[in-house]
Structures are given as C-alpha cells and as structure tokens.
A and B are shown apart, each in its own frame.
Chain A
Amino acid sequence: MSKIRITRRAILGAAAAGSAVSLFAGPWKHNRVWAQGASKPIRIGITADASGQYANSGASDKRGMMMAISEANERGGVLGRKIEFVHIDTETTAATGSRVAERMISREQCGFLVGAVHSGVANAISQVAQKYGVIYINTNSSSPTEAGQNCHRVKFVFDGNGTNFAKAAVKSAIERFGPDWMLLTNDYVWGHDTAAATKSLLKEYGGKVIEEVLIPQGTRDFTSALLKVQQRKPGVISAAIGGDDQKAMRQQVAQLGMGDKPAWINSQQDWDDVYGLPVDNLFGVFGTTWYYRLDLPGVADFVKRYQTMYPETAMRSPGNVFYNGYMSIRELLGAIERAGTTNNIAVIKALEGHKMPARDRMQHFDATIDAETHQVQQTIYLATANRAAKEKDDLFEILSHAKPDDVRDTDSAKLCKLEPYDKTPSFDA
C-alpha cells in the first residue's frame, strides 16, 4: 500500500505549478502572446550576414531594412506600435543562421525575422521559423528551391530566383551565341539550383551543356576554370558564382581579356558585388531586379532618401540588395496594417496574393506575392556594363525588362507544398 499522503498544500502546489507551465507550454495552437497591448513595440529580427562571403551584401540588406523601419517609425509605427529591431550576424553560415533564428525567437522575442543572401542560410532560418510559426522574409537569396521544395507557410521570398533570371536570358543567348554552353557553378545550393534551371531551359530551347565546372565556395583563383573554358571553347558561359568568389572571378576574366568572347551570362548581379570595380570587370549580360537609375517615378526620391540616411556610406547609390531589404520590411509592415493585427496567420493571409503596383515598387510592371509559393513575381531586368556612364556609379546599362509572367518559375512551383494553416503554430507578435 502506498504511503504517499495527499495533502491540501500538495494539491495547491501542483495546481500552481501546472498553471505556470501551461502559460508557456500549451495549448500550442495559440500560446505565445509576447507583446500584448499597443504599448509594446513590434520586434523584428534582422538575420543579415555581417561576416563571411556575403558580409558586404548583408550590410546593404540591413541598411535597406533599417531605412524602412525608420520611415515607419517616423509615421508613428504600425497599429500604433513602434518598430524595434535586433540584428545578429548569421556569418554566411547555415548552422549560424539556424542558431540565430532560434535565439531571436526564443530569447529576443522577435515576432518576425527578415533577411538573407545565402540560400543555405535562408533555408536554415526558415526551418526554425516554421517550427515556431514566425513569419520570415527571405530578402535576397535567390535559389529556386527557396520558393520551391524548401518553401514554407511562414516564408516569403522577395528576390527573383535563378530560373527567373535564366528565363530572361537563355533563349535569346542561344539564338545569338549558339547552343554550346559551359556552366561555372558555385558548389552550393544556390549555384546548383540555378545551374539546374539553366540546364532545363537549354534542353527546352535546343542548347546543350558541353561541361559544367563546379567551383568550391571560397575560391580565389579561377585560372584552372578559365583554362578549361579556353580548352572547351563554348559559345556561352553561364556563371552562377556569388559574393567574393564572383568578384575575384570578374577581376581575373577582365585581366585575361576574356570578357567579350565567349559570351558570358551571369544569373544575377548583386550591386554590392561589383560596386567599386572597374567597368571592364562588368562583362557579359546579367540579371537584376532593380537599378538606381531606372527612369521611373519615385526612384530619384528613394535614392535621395538613401543618401540622406547614410551620408557616410562608401556605397553612394543603393542597389538591388538594399532595395529588396527595404521592400521586404515595407510590405511586411503594410500586411500588418491591412490585417489590423500582429497575429501571424492573419499577417500571412494579408501577404499571400498581395498585389503591389509597379509605381510603389519602382519597377516596370505590377508585382504579386504568389499565394502558392510565396515568391514575389516581379519585373526582371537584363543589364550589361555601361560604357557611356552619366556618373561614377552608373555602372549598368539596362538592356530589357521582362514581365513577371514571362519569367515565372513554374518548375519550382510544382515542388512547393506549403504547410496547412492549422499545422502552423499561431501567436500574436
């Protein structure tokens, strides 16, 4: 027979402990009301790289977000609440991204996460965010998998992806420079996915890959790859090389005078990766989502606001990475306003399918947040080096702009299976 005595004191103690635990642990459906009331600020976790391969781009990404937050606070915040941000360096490393996301959610009590350049980092952050139901905006990483097989209900992808850029370029490049292509591919998720998209398009339009050279991340010497290019003699080189690797490659190609022949197609050219380089380093045709000298309403004012807010920044004109960071926060805060609440599910629904007028986006065509994949379908620009620059920063000559529907990534969309709403934890941020 048990000798345990159940006293009134023990029952009261157990009840108190149970209540305390239930406040934090359950029921999971709606259990984390972090910032009740209008008085507490909305906290955004900025997951931008401050070191590693994408440190430079990460700094621009963060500057874009900070400008959008600053402007929102000047207008009185959102739903009467000020916006606060916490930034922790994700070090261009997936494991760090995961750790940072976990810390921002569980310790820093961030209700939203925004930022990324490296696709591996973005994927790691989004897995943690989905676990907690925290909305995460991938600002600048452009692997097709981000809104494809790695899509999540909480994740929204604001950059164009490798397929979008390849679709804008591949068909016309085959017609102009021939079917024999060589791929230089950064040996990580973005490089592989972008190369896969290019291969699929080559197959569709009658081109062929005569060789693919995998370039390890952190490569500083591209001589081996460039010797192989000379030996294989392709008509076109499609390069999916990012960050510092790409800067080194551009300098070495320019030094060898190989920028004009064969033809170079670079998936996307981030502004931060070429800013400050001589114009002969900007060979080939490349994609972008925005340029600071687009002749569109609002662009000049946007540039002026950037220059006023960052008078000391060496980069005197904003680029696509800054632009995506800015637009991500602006659209997130807009969605909170439209939803009238910081409840994550309500904000997700306000973002899904949201149409953004071309004028607001400072692009040529209206953009939409695809409700099925959460990727922003937007204008894709093709550009090359500007040999008749109007000013020092006028590096790009915009060659064309493609409509969002013409460059839509339909293959990745088939692989995206968003988690149902009721499988996504719900809370008010």
Chain B
Amino acid sequence: MIDLLPHLINGLTLGLLFALIALGFTLIVGVMEVINLAHGSLFALGAYFALTVIAGSWFSSTPFGAWWLSLPLGLRYVLALAIGPALAGLAGMLLELCLRPTYGKPPLYGLLLTFGAALVVEELIRLVWGTGEQNLALPQAINGAFLLNGMIFSTYRFFASGFSIVAIAAVWLFLERTSAGAVIKAGAHDSEMVRALGYDLARLRLLVFGFGAALAGLAGVVMVPIWGLRPHVGVDIVIPAFLIIVIGGVGSFWGAVIAALLVGLAIGITGAYAAAWSTMSMYLLLIAILGFRSRGLLGRKSALEN
C-alpha cells in the first residue's frame, strides 16, 4: 500500500494551479456571458511575452539586449510577472472590441469568434516565437527541489501554488472590497440597471475582459515552467478551465476555486492508484456533480428551477 499523503499534497497544489487558470475564465463568463475559447491563447500569449522579457528574445543581439540580459534573472522574472499579463490583458481588450458586434446575438457567434481568435493567436505565436519548445528560465531561489517527509517535491510548484493563493485572495478582495469590484459584480447581476445608474457598460465590459485576459496571462507565466512552453500550450488548458467553471457553477468565484481543488484532488488520488484514469477522473467528477446538481456546486438557480 502506498502512502497517500504525498498524493493529496500534490492534488491540492495542482488544484490551486487549476484555480488560477479558471479565475479569468469564470470572471469573463460571469460578467459578460461569453465563453471565451481564446482563454488558452491568452494564457499562451502571457507566457510568451514573459519569455521575451526574461530571455530578451527579440532584442538580445542589440546593445540594449546585452544590458537587459545583464540584469539579475530574479528582477527580469518579476518584471515578466507584471508585463506578460499586462500585454495579454491588452490583447484581451482587442478581442473584446472584435466581440462587440456579437452582443445581443445567439451565443454561437461569440463562441465561433473566440474559437477563430484562438487559431489566429496560435499561428501568430508560431510566426513570432517559432514552433519549437521554449524554456522559461527561473531564478535559483524558486527553482530546484526540496525534501518533505522523505519525498522530493518541486520548489517551484509550491511557489506557484502559493502565488495562486495570493492571486485568488487579491481578486476576491478586488471584487468584494472595491467600488470597481462592486460595479463588476452588479454588471454580472443586472447589466441594464448598471447602465441606468450611469455607468458606461461598454467600458466596463472592456475592462473586465482585459482583467480576465490578464489573469489568463498571469496563469500562463506561472504555469509554463511546469508544463513547458510551445505554441499550442493554450489548448491544453481550455478544457480543464471550462470543466472547472461548469463544476463550480458558471460565474461563481468560489465555485470555481472549490471545483479546481476537487479536480486537482481527483487527478492526484487517481494518479496514485489508477494513473491511466487520472485524466478521465475530472470528467467523471463532472458527470457525478452535474448528475446531482445541474447548475454546478455554487451556480445560480436557473429561472426554470423556480
């Protein structure tokens, strides 16, 4: 019999990483009711912009590049954590502008547009950064491994999980404790009322989409040192992200976080006893939860259920 504890720890850390991925997705779905299939591409864009910041890949042969690369890796990494998501956020805003003609139309329009955008972004990545595998260098302080209860764990994985906790708390505080957050939540609840109160709904949507895209980009910067960086890395995360927000209840912040932890634990535990089922386990979890509660764990009650 193998010791389950390391696998539970692994499942929890994985769940926190999944939560970070799902955060921006759930925000956009909750406020704008757009299923953004380009979420994975924005995740990848954030990571590639971070790669440029860290490795100076566009300008390394210039005098500026030489100076840039002489800066400590830790500083470049911190800058990448800010610049990567910011640029992904701008790309998200651009996408939102393209989405505007689809508002008020059947959801399929938005779905198809974001799907097309995902393909375009992936091809752009191939053109700009190349098709091969890339490596996001990490500062020594958060790289390597450490021993815990006789088992080797990745230092970076724990750093990334801790970072996810901070990001989740920051987003929650922003939504709950700031006036901008209150407007965003009100927009998700009743957009017409928000407009009637004098708020610029178009601007609100632009900012929310940009914020959600920036969170996707942040997840990209944090995740790729674990999963690797290649042009279609975004494809790998869209399905788990979508599945998590459905399990959690579409638009529910804490629903997404709880669902992500459950998915992480399901993968971690099946990985210990039946590894061949580890990927399948999240789908089985989805079936089990939606079978009992069709709106997900913390999803809003549908009008049909009243």
Chain A residues within CB distance 8 Å of chain B: 51, 55-56, 59, 187, 213-216, 218-221, 223-228, 230-232, 244, 247-248, 251-252, 255-258, 272-278, 314-315
- 3 A-B pairs with least C-beta separation: A224-B271, A214-B276, A314-B130
* Neighbouring B residues of A56 by C-beta, 8 Å: 131-133, 230
* Neighbouring B residues of A272 by C-beta, 8 Å: 132
**A346, B145: Cα distance in complex, Å:** 60
B132 touching A256 by the CB < 8 A rule? no
| A231 in contact with B132 given A56-B230, A224-B272, A247-B228 (CB within 8 Å) | no
Q: Is the interface of A mostly helix, strand, loop or mixed?
A: helix
For the complex with contacts A228-B272, A315-B132, 8 further pairs of A-B residues with Cβ separation under 8 Å are A220-B228, A225-B271, A228-B275, A247-B228, A251-B135, A258-B152, A274-B133, A276-B134
| A216 in contact with B276 given A221-B267, A227-B7 (CB within 8 Å) | yes
- Report the minimum CB–CB distance from B305 to chain A (whole Å): 35
Q: Which residues of B, 202-253, contact A by the 8 Å Cβ criterion?
A: 225-228, 230, 232, 236
- Closest B residue to A224 using CB positions: B271
- Report the minimum CB–CB distance from B293 to chain A (whole Å): 27
A251 touching B228 by the CB < 8 A rule? yes
* Neighbouring A residues of B278 by C-beta, 8 Å: 216, 219, 224
Q: Say yes or no: is B303 at the interface (Cβ < 8 Å to chain A).
A: no
B157-188 CB mask vs A (1 if < 8 Å, else 0) is 10000000000000000000000000000000
B133 touching A227 by the CB < 8 A rule? no
B1-31 CB mask vs A (1 if < 8 Å, else 0) is 0110011001001100000000000000000
Q: Say yes or no: is B151 at the interface (Cβ < 8 Å to chain A).
A: yes
26 A-B contacts (beta carbon < 8 Å): A213-B275, A216-B275, A216-B279, A218-B236, A219-B279, A220-B236, A223-B14, A224-B10, A224-B278, A225-B271, A226-B152, A228-B2, A228-B275, A231-B2, A231-B151, A232-B2, A247-B230, A248-B226, A251-B135, A251-B228, A256-B153, A257-B145, A275-B132, A275-B133, A276-B133, A315-B132
Q: Say yes or no: is B143 at the interface (Cβ < 8 Å to chain A).
A: yes
| A252 in contact with B154 given A187-B276, A213-B275 (CB within 8 Å) | yes
- Report the minimum CB–CB distance from B19 to chain A (whole Å): 14
B135 touching A277 by the CB < 8 A rule? yes
* Neighbouring B residues of A251 by C-beta, 8 Å: 135, 225-226, 228
**A69, B189: Cα distance in complex, Å:** 62
Contact among A213, A227, A314 for B132, CB-based, below 8 A: A314
Q: Say yes or no: is B268 at the interface (Cβ < 8 Å to chain A).
A: yes
B232 touching A55 by the CB < 8 A rule? yes
**A227, B153: Cα distance in complex, Å:** 8
Q: Say yes or no: is B156 at the interface (Cβ < 8 Å to chain A).
A: yes
Q: Say yes or no: is B97 at the interface (Cβ < 8 Å to chain A).
A: no
* Neighbouring B residues of A216 by C-beta, 8 Å: 275-276, 278-280
A248 touching B227 by the CB < 8 A rule? yes
- Report the minimum CB–CB distance from B277 to chain A (whole Å): 8
| A248 in contact with B152 given A231-B3, A315-B132 (CB within 8 Å) | no
* Neighbouring B residues of A231 by C-beta, 8 Å: 2-3, 6, 151
* Neighbouring B residues of A218 by C-beta, 8 Å: 236, 279
B152 touching A51 by the CB < 8 A rule? no
Q: Say yes or no: is B139 at the interface (Cβ < 8 Å to chain A).
A: no
B135 touching A256 by the CB < 8 A rule? no
**A244, B132: Cα distance in complex, Å:** 11
* Neighbouring A residues of B157 by C-beta, 8 Å: 223
* Neighbouring A residues of B276 by C-beta, 8 Å: 187, 214-216
- Report the minimum CB–CB distance from B221 to chain A (whole Å): 16
B154 touching A225 by the CB < 8 A rule? no
Contact among A187, A247, A256, A315 for B152, CB-based, below 8 A: A256
B68-111 CB mask vs A (1 if < 8 Å, else 0) is 00000000000000000000000000000000000000000000
* Neighbouring B residues of A55 by C-beta, 8 Å: 131, 232
A257 touching B131 by the CB < 8 A rule? no
**A367, B40: Cα distance in complex, Å:** 46
**A257, B227: Cα distance in complex, Å:** 16
Q: Say yes or no: is B144 at the interface (Cβ < 8 Å to chain A).
A: yes
A221 touching B7 by the CB < 8 A rule? no
**A237, B291: Cα distance in complex, Å:** 40
- Report the minimum CB–CB distance from A189 to chain B (whole Å): 14
* Neighbouring A residues of B2 by C-beta, 8 Å: 228, 231-232
B267 touching A224 by the CB < 8 A rule? yes
**A247, B131: Cα distance in complex, Å:** 14
* Neighbouring A residues of B14 by C-beta, 8 Å: 221, 223
B226 touching A252 by the CB < 8 A rule? yes
* Neighbouring A residues of B280 by C-beta, 8 Å: 216
